[in-house]
Amino acid sequence: MNRVKWIAVSCAALSLTAAVAASRPAVKNPQAKALNTTVVTPAGYRIIGVGDMMLGSDYPVEYLDPRVTDGGDPASVIGQEMVSLFKSADVTFGNFEGTMHTSTEGAKACGDPKVCYIFRSPPHHAAYIRRAGFNMLSNANNHSRDFGEAARAVTFKNLTAAGFAVSGADTPDTRFGIHTMKDGTKAVLVAFGHNPGLMKVQELARVRTLVQEAGTKGDIVIVSCHIGAEGRTQSRVTRATEMFLGEDRGNPFAFARTAVDAGADIVFCHGPHIARAVEVYKGRFIAYSLGNFWTYGSFNLRDENGHAPIADLRIAKDGALMSARIVSARQDKPGAPYLDSNNAAAKQIAMLTARDFPETGVSVSPTGEINWPK
C-alpha cells in the first residue's frame, strides 16, 4: 500500500440556507447557488476541512438552533449541496468546539462573560454532524475541558460512538483517531492545542515525535491544531509566538512548518475565529486558520468573522497536493453556514495569502482555486 500522510491542524463548509434565530423563520440566502461537488481527477483522495463547529449550547442558558433536532436532516439547515459535498470526500474534518454530555458537574467558573464562555452540546448533535457528512473531528481546543476531564472523556465517547475518528486529550487512548477509507487506506488524525491536558502546540520537539508516531499507525496523517490569538484583528500569520488573554497560544508558522518537516502532508489550523492565509510548503497544504464554520449562539459573526471557508483538497497517494480550492460559505447571526456566491471567504484568503506569503508564489483566484509553483 502506498503511504500517504497528512495533517489537519486543530482549526470550515457550505450551505444554501442562512442561519436564523429561534424566534425567526428561516430566510434563504438569495446569493446562494448550486455547488459542483465533483472534482475530476484520475486518482488520489479527496479531503475536506473546515474550522470550528459548535451547533448550540444548552448551558448555562439554552441557546439551541430549533432546526437541529434529534434524528433531523442536516440538509434542511445547511442545504443538500453542502451535505453532498461533505459526503463526496474520503475524509471530511472539523474541529468540535466544546463538550457533548448532559452533566452539570465540574463546570468552570466564568467571572467575565464577555471573555469567558462555557459550551455544552446535547449528545444527539454527534449523530447530526455525522449525518451532515463529517467523519473526522478534533476535540483538542480551549473549550474541551469546560466541565473538567470527566466530561471531556464522555465527549470523546459520544463522538466516537457516533462513528467519528477523534483526536483529543493527551492520553494513550485519545491521541490518535483513525478513519479507514473504502480501499483500506487509513487516515490518522492527531490534534494539538494550547490548554492543559492536550498535546501542546508549543512543544515542537514532541510535535515532531507525535506526527511521526501517527505515521506508523496509518497511511494518511492528519494533524489539527487550535492555535493563535483570537479576533478580527488577528488575521496575520506573524511567524512569532502569539499571546491572548495572558496565554501562550503558540507560533502557528513554526508549528505548521515543523509538522510538514516531520512528514505531514496537510495542516488544518483553527482557533482565531477568523480566516488566515494558506500556504503550500514542500508540496503540502497548510491552512493557518479556517475560522468559524458552524457556530451557533454567542460567536461574533460580523463581517470577516462570518466567513466560513471550506478547504477542498485532492492529494495523491504519495501525499503530494494535486489540487486545492477554497469553497466560500458564511454565517449570519445566530449561526449556521450557507453558500456564498460572492466568494467572500476565498477573496479574503487570497488577500491574506498575498500579504503574508508573497515569497511562496501561492495564489488564490477570486473563485477559490489555489495555485502554486509545481
Q: Is residue 33 part of a domain?
A: yes
CA distance 255 to 250: 8
Let me know if residue 123 belongs to a domain: yes
Its domain, for residue 71, covers: 17-371
Query: Is 43 inside a domain boundary?
Result: yes
What residues contact residue 120 under an 8 Å CB cut-off, 6+ apart? Answer: 57, 58, 59, 98, 99, 100, 101, 146, 147, 151
Q: Do 331 and 295 touch, CB atoms closer than 8 A?
A: yes
324-340 tens-digit pLDDT: 999 999 999 999 999 99
Residue 36 pLDDT? 55
Q: Which ranges constitute the DSSP H helices of the chain?
A: 75-78, 80-88, 124-131, 148-161, 204-215, 252-261, 344-356
Tens-digit pLDDT profile for residues 42-88: 479 999 999 999 999 999 999 999 999 999 999 999 999 999 999 99
pLDDT of 27 over the 50 cut: no
Residue 134: what residue type? F
Do the Cβ atoms of 175 and 189 come closer than 8 Å?
no
Whole-structure pTM value: 0.89
Asked if residue 232 belongs to a domain, the reply is: yes
Would you say 116 and 136 are in contact if contact means Cβ atoms under 8 Å apart? no
Higher pLDDT among residues 43 and 14, named by residue: 43
pLDDT over 70 at 1, yes or no:
no
Hey, how many other C-beta atoms are within 10 angstroms of the C-beta on 79? 25
pLDDT band of 41, cuts 50, 70, 90: very low
Is 8 within a domain? Answer: no
Cell, residue 276: 488566515
The mean pLDDT value of the chain amounts to 90
Q: What is the rounded CA–CA span in Å between residue 48 and residue 268? A: 10
Report the DSSP beta bridge partners of residue 191.
224
pLDDT tier at 112 (50, 70, 90 boundaries)?
confident
What does the pLDDT read at residue 86?
A: 98
Q: Is the pLDDT of residue 214 over 50?
A: yes
Q: What is the CATH number of the domain that holds 218?
A: 3.60.21.10
Q: What is the pLDDT of residues 144-197, one digit of tens each?
A: 999 999 999 999 999 999 999 999 999 999 999 999 999 999 999 999 999 999
Distance, CA of 91 to CA of 290 (rounded, Å)? 16
Sign (positive/negative) of CA torsion 157, 159, 162, 165? negative
pLDDT of residue 13: 36
What is the number of structural domains in the chain?
A: 1
The span from the first CA to the last CA of the chain, in angstroms, equals 25
Residue 4 included in any domain: no
Q: What is the pLDDT of residue 114?
A: 74
- Statement: residue 25 has pLDDT above 80: no
In a domain, 6, yes or no: no
Q: In the prediction, which pLDDT does 11 show? A: 39
